[in-house]
């Protein structure tokens, strides 16, 4: 083959990467590839063992053979297993004469009508369960593919492989983004300073709700209760700290109570975990946290006191105080509800802390509710 013009090669390689971002059509690309190899036809084809999922060709299909018959003929062709044996990223050359006993007659007809004789190509990344090939053909009056063609394909193939992988990753990320946008709970990424990096629509709705325990101001998280703010800040800080390229903490959960007296906003369960992933796809690895926000109605069951006594060996009075605290009341208000002195309530709380290994009231409330089945909205 004659040596291709550098501008033609540059256009093909540039088009290969532009496809991944939707700036260049596959039809344009296969036409350019056919011209680069002086071929009669080129195509990008993706299929599983049952059907073709996508065929982008530089020449239209055969009018005399229905599309489903073309598929069946291609899969019946004895060369099909050889294509499937090509390793991912590998190259192949096909030189099998039309009309030989090994060929499928329908596929021979298709190849004649579309002027497809010798072939050269490579196998590219594909969706799960599928195979994708970039295939170039020359017509019956053209020269066979030679070592110079193989050398050219060896230049093109790595770019096609990388771009196809990027295309699949972009497609998967787009689908994931759409899925996350419709989740019934909020998801956000924040850095160690509690600055919001990104969030889905559900998280944005939660932060904007009047009376919510969690809100945003100037791009930063804001927590209504100072004690809860300190606990959440600690959780975020620990998962955003890296020691030896590893986040030292797995995170944790926190129950944030809404302002029930002033709004109908539900309470929030916030789950904090490190944001981890492959370095080349995750520029925030080790310096960000993922927050999952679930709105819950946290009415306590009627048998809460019985549950608390069985689970933590509380006395009856300790269980009653724990119930009032779990309902979101302060220790002073809980003492008033139970008709006991504040000093007595404080003594009960110290005993409850000892039995649950908690140090803060907010931690205790989260623990008491963690084993309960809160009703998600």
- Tell me what pLDDT residue 320 has: 92
What was the pLDDT predicted at 345?
93
* CA contacts within 13 A on the Cβ side of 54: 12
Percentage of the chain surpassing pLDDT 90? 17
User: pLDDT tens for residues 43-60?
Assistant: 888 888 777 777 887 766
Q: What is the pLDDT of residue 127?
A: 84
Q: What is the pLDDT of residue 349?
A: 93
Residue 206 zone, left/alpha/beta (φ > 0; ψ -120 to 50; rest):
alpha
Whole-number pLDDT of residue 81: 81
CB 51 within 8 A of CB 69: no
User: Residue 356 above 80 pLDDT?
Assistant: yes
Residue (of 141, 126, 151) closest to 44 by Cα position: 126
pLDDT above 80 for 371: no
**Tens digits of residue pLDDT in 143-200:** 888 899 999 999 999 999 988 888 888 777 777 666 666 666 888 999 888 989 888 8
Intra-chain end-to-end CA distance of the chain, in Å: 67
Residue 187 near residue 202, CB atoms below 8 Å: yes
**202-259 tens-digit pLDDT:** 899 889 988 888 999 988 999 888 888 998 999 898 888 766 555 456 678 888 877 7
Q: What is the percent of the chain with per-residue pLDDT over 70, rounded to a whole number?
A: 80
Average pLDDT over residues 320-325: 90
pLDDT reported for residue 281: 45
Q: Which residue has the higher pLDDT, 229 or 278?
A: 229
Query: Left if phi > 0, otherwise alpha if psi is -120 to 50, otherwise beta: which for 187?
Result: beta
Angle of helix 147-181 relative to helix 26-36, nearest 10 degrees? 170
Which pLDDT band holds residue 5 (cuts at 50, 70, 90)? Answer: confident
| C-alpha 255 chain-centroid distance | 27
Assign 338 a pLDDT band (cuts: 50, 70, 90): very high
| Residue 375: predicted pLDDT | 47
| HEC sequence for 214-249 | EEEECCEEEECCHHHHHHHHHHHHHHCCCECCECCC
Count of all residues that appear for the chain in the document: 377
| Residue whose pair of structure tokens reads 């993922």 in the numeric block | 290
Q: Does 346 or 275 have the greater pLDDT score?
A: 346
Tokens standing for residue 291:
């927050």
What value does the mean pLDDT take over residues 275-300?
Answer: 66
| Domains, the chain, with CATH or none | 6-178 (3.30.450.40), 183-297 (3.30.450.20), 304-376 (1.10.10)
Average pLDDT, the chain: 80
Question: What is the pLDDT, as a whole number, of residue 12?
Answer: 87
**Tens digits of per-residue pLDDT, 118-151?**
889 999 998 888 889 999 988 888 888 889 999 9
Mind listing the pLDDT tens digit for each residue in 85-110? 899 999 988 865 544 545 667 667 77
pLDDT for 15 equals 84
The string of pLDDT tens digits covering residues 195-216 is 898 888 889 988 998 888 899 9
Kindly state the average pLDDT of the residues 354-363: 85
């Amino acid at each position: 083959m004659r040596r291709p013009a550098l501008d033609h090669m540059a256009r093909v390689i540039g088009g290969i990467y532009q496809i991944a971002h939707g700036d260049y059509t596959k039809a344009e690309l296969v036409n350019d590839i056919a011209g680069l190899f002086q071929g009669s036809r080129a195509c990008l084809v993706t299929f599983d063992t049952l059907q073709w999922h996508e065929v982008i060709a530089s020449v239209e299909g055969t009018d005399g053979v229905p599309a489903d018959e073309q598929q069946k003929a291609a899969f019946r062709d004895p060369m099909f297993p050889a294509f499937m044996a090509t390793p991912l990223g590998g190259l192949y050359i096909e030189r099998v004469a039309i009309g030989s006993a090994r060929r499928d007659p329908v596929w021979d007809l298709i190849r004649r009508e579309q002027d497809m004789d010798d072939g050269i190509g490579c196998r590219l990344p594909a969706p799960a369960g599928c195979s994708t090939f970039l295939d170039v053909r020359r017509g019956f009056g053209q020269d066979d593919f030679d070592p110079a063609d193989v050398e050219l394909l060896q230049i093109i193939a790595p770019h096609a492989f990388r771009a196809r992988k990027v295309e699949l990753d972009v497609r998967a990320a787009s689908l994931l983004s759409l899925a996350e946008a419709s989740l019934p709970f909020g998801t956000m990424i924040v850095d160690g300073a509690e600055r919001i990096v990104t969030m889905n629509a559900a998280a944005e709705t939660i932060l904007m709700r009047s009376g919510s325990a969690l809100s945003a101001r100037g791009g930063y998280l804001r927590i209504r209760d100072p004690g809860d703010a300190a606990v959440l800040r600690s959780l975020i800080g620990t998962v955003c700290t890296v020691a030896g390229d590893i986040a030292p903490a797995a995170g944790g959960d926190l129950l944030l109570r809404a302002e029930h007296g002033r709004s109908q906003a539900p309470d929030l369960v916030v789950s904090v975990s490190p944001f981890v992933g492959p370095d080349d796809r995750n520029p925030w690895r080790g310096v960000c946290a993922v927050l999952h926000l679930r709105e819950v109605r946290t009415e306590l069951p009627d048998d809460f006191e019985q549950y608390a006594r069985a689970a933590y060996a509380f006395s009856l009075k300790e269980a009653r105080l724990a119930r009032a605290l779990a309902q979101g009341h302060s220790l002073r208000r809980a003492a008033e509800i139970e008709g006991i002195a504040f000093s007595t309530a404080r003594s009960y709380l110290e005993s409850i802390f000892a039995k649950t290994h908690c140090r803060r009231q907010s931690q205790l409330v989260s623990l008491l509710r963690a084993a309960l089945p809160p009703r998600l909205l």
